[in-house]
Structure 1
Amino acid sequence: IILLTILQQINACGPGRGLGGPRRSRRLVPLVFKQHVPNVSEYTLGASGLREGKVDRNSSKFKNLVPNYNKDIIFKDEEGTGADRIMSQRCKEKLNTLAVLVMNRWPGQRLRVTESWDEDMKHGNESLHYEGRAVDITTSDRDRSKYGMLARLAVEAGFDWVYYESREHIHCSVKSDSTQKSHVSGCFTSESTVQISTGERRRLSDLKLGEKVLSMTSNGKTKYSEVIMFLDYNMNEIMDFVQITTKSGAILTVTAAHLIMVWNLSKNQSEFRFASKIEEGDFVLVYKDDRLRPEKVIKITLVHNLGYIAPLTREGTIIVDSIAASCYALIDSQSIAHWSFSPIRAYLSMKNLLGFSSRSYSSSSSGNSNSRSNNRRISDNKLNNIEINNNLILENDNSISNNEILNDPLIQNGVHWYAKILYSIKDWVLPDDWIYH
């Protein structure tokens, strides 16, 4: 109740729906010449995303493109091959939505497509036209005075990047169809590593509750902080990750909605930013020579990986693969996210104080430790199909009693119940521009 009350007051001071309030209609403002929305590069994850390579008629990916026979759209098709009707499924959906918006805005007018999929290399070498993910559009009357508003309507239709590129047309593009639906939370790969209090590196898949890992305090100092829970834990699902590479070779692989610590050169201070909004040339904090230092990002790519894990430390931060990151995702505020987990931190502290902490199945031998960790992982070969509440999956292990397994939060498959509650109410209590989309 306190959380809802405070967030409602925050909403009242700025833009947003407020708690349960209706959305207000917005006045559509035309784009100006050379403006693009969003205001980032077309090939960043915050826009249409990374390029996946040219698709030609002999490519295996060509079968994933679809023709668009919408009668409310005029296709120029100057090549006479039908290429302007061919596009990705997502592009087709956004284009059809835009066609309706155009007819509603200007009765009697239709949407006109001058370029879609291109197999003749008429665009720049990096163009998304070669992947069927971009279209150039006008109105059917070719009235240039309408193009600014046409670009705005394209943004409203859901195109991932819209550019008032030329006096002759508007350029629109979309994310790849192969990009999986954004995960409900934010995580690191199961193969990512952290530094534990003994100084050794530990893979997240082998990390145990109660272990202390290198993290960062609110004043930018490093500290070993206890892992109190896993916000998400899944070893069986393939996920899309942003891979951030720095000048010294540090590489962090994380989901797009995760908060990463970025050094703001203009303010000479650090701030948290969604991984999808980090660009080449930005600076992240890298742990090197026993301290955190700003280091330039030189490469950002998109990769797929099996398994993802989101450990939560008491500090709310964690240094993964030598790069400083938050433990939180989805909400564009480290302080609000950390504060919202205060009740569960207090609950776990009280539980530990009273002696009800879950047993950590560790061993003095690293070999036995790895063996136990492997036994706990979710594996098709080891599951006995015994499922209980809170997404726990049990294994048949004679050395561990059923009661011990029931009390082990690490044997988890999915989002933690407390995190699920917070995720379910975020859209009601937070302004829309605070939430990752």
Structure 2
Amino acid sequence: MHSKTNIFYIILIGFIILLNIDSSSSDHDDHHDDHHDGGTQCFSGDSLIKLSNGEYKEIGNLQSGDEIITIDQSKIISTEMVMILDKQISKQALFYTLRTDSDNEISLTQYHLIPTIDSNGNENYLFAKQIKIGDYLFVLFNGKLKYSPVINITIEMKKGYYAPLTMKGTLLINNVLASCFANVNNHHLAQYYMAPFRYYYKFAQFMSVYDPFNINKTEGLYSTVNMMFYFARYFRSDALYL
């Protein structure tokens, strides 16, 4: 993983973030129009996110620095919201809505990753379209971690989708654990390549800049993410599903 090519790729993306951080708002829509129609896509606009203070916030209202709940190595922890990788308020997308026995629902686009637990207790990340009835998802139920089987799957068009990025690379959507990443084959590799965003976010916080990615001003696929897909096609095409 830590080859010279990978290190070069991370450094390159870091420079791209710095070069595009001020211009992303103005030229963002043009980048998005040229991108693959799937974009990153992600979660439906009706998704609710649980904050560390116990309150819930609509996914479209998330801000950089929000402390939200996630699950890491079977532990319930807090993680920070870094940015929105892709935000579409009015566009429609096809969603796989998974309902669990615990009566939780999560709506994801077909190539969005979600962790499951197998009979041996191992965690596996699958695309939403690969999930089958009976697969176990991680859910937060009455404040405790639970493994709950999927009992119903519906495919439907919904308006609006959002792709939040957290420090841990995961988050709870309607109390169901999900990856922050779509259109990639490996959750952990995607988290590795998102390091420049996390580093820049922490640096911006240190400099008292609390919205370094202009979350409220940009709509569409973030310009740097668009460039990351472009470079990944050359350096790590095996890691993408586009």
TM-score band (shorter)? Answer: 0.7 to 0.9
How many aligned positions are there? 214
Please name the residue that 2:118 is paired with: 264
Deviation by residue 1:200-224 (Cα, 9 ceiling, x = unmatched): 111112222211111122x231212
For residues 378-417 of structure 1, the aligned pairs below 5 Å read 408-417=214-223
Please name the residue that 1:331 is paired with: 184
Please name the residue that 2:174 is paired with: 321
Please name the residue that 1:240 is paired with: 94
Asked if the contact 2:181/2:190 (under 8 Å) is kept, the reply is yes
Q: 1:231 is matched by which residue type in structure 2?
A: L
Asked if the contact 2:86/2:219 (under 8 Å) is kept, the reply is yes
Deviation by residue 1:225-245 (Cα, 9 ceiling, x = unmatched): 111100111101011111001
Please name the residue that 2:21 is paired with: none
Please name the residue that 1:346 is paired with: 199
Residue 308 (str. 1) matches residue 174 (str. 2)? no
Find the residue that maps to 1:344 and give its secondary structure. Answer: helix
C-alpha distance in 1 between matches for 2:226 and 2:176:
27
**Residue 109 (structure 2) aligned to one of 226, 248, 255:** 255
C-alpha distance in 1 between matches for 2:203 and 2:7:
26
Asked if the contact 2:82/2:167 (under 8 Å) is kept, the reply is yes
C-alpha distance in 2 between matches for 1:199 and 1:409:
23
Asked if the contact 1:194/1:319 (under 8 Å) is kept, the reply is yes
Asked if the contact 1:254/1:275 (under 8 Å) is kept, the reply is yes
TM-score if structure 1 supplies the norm length? 0.46
How far the C-alpha of 1:182 sits from its partner, in A, is 5.8
Q: 1:435 is matched by which residue type in structure 2?
A: L
Find the residue that maps to 2:180 and give its secondary structure. Answer: strand
Change (3 A) 1:240 1:182: farther
Change (3 A) 1:428 1:272: same
Residue 298 (str. 1) matches residue 151 (str. 2)? yes
Asked if the contact 1:230/1:410 (under 8 Å) is kept, the reply is no
Please name the residue that 2:17 is paired with: none
Asked if the contact 1:186/1:328 (under 8 Å) is kept, the reply is no
Asked if the contact 2:102/2:141 (under 8 Å) is kept, the reply is no
How far the C-alpha of 1:274 sits from its partner, in A, is 0.9
C-alpha distance in 2 between matches for 1:347 and 1:357:
11
Please name the residue that 2:230 is paired with: 424
Asked if the contact 2:65/2:210 (under 8 Å) is kept, the reply is no
Q: Structure 2: give runs of 5+ residues left out of the alignment.
A: 9-35
Q: 1:296 is matched by which residue type in structure 2?
A: P
Residue 223 (str. 1) matches residue 82 (str. 2)? no
Please name the residue that 1:49 is paired with: none
Question: Taking every aligned residue pair, what percent have the same amino acid on both sides?
Answer: 24
Structure with higher Rg: it is 1
**Residue 211 (structure 2) aligned to one of 338, 341, 358:** 358
Residue 436 (str. 1) matches residue 241 (str. 2)? yes
Residue 276 (str. 1) matches residue 82 (str. 2)? no
Calculate the aligned-residue CA RMSD, in Å: 2.1
Change (3 A) 1:408 1:355: same
Please name the residue that 1:37 is paired with: none
How far the C-alpha of 1:3 sits from its partner, in A, is 6.9
Residue 194 (str. 1) matches residue 49 (str. 2)? yes
Asked if the contact 2:64/2:210 (under 8 Å) is kept, the reply is no
Asked if the contact 2:63/2:83 (under 8 Å) is kept, the reply is no
For residues 77-226 of structure 1, the aligned pairs below 5 Å read 183-217=38-72, 219-226=73-80
C-alpha distance in 1 between matches for 2:126 and 2:232:
18
C-alpha distance in 1 between matches for 2:214 and 2:114:
29
Asked if the contact 1:259/1:274 (under 8 Å) is kept, the reply is yes
Deviation by residue 1:143-166 (Cα, 9 ceiling, x = unmatched): xxxxxxxxxxxxxxxxxxxxxxxx
- Select the structure that is richer in strand: 2
Deviation by residue 1:366-396 (Cα, 9 ceiling, x = unmatched): xxxxxxxxxxxxxxxxxxxxxxxxxxxxxxx
Asked if the contact 2:63/2:215 (under 8 Å) is kept, the reply is no
Q: 413-422 or 248-257: which moved more?
A: 413-422
How far the C-alpha of 1:414 sits from its partner, in A, is 0.7
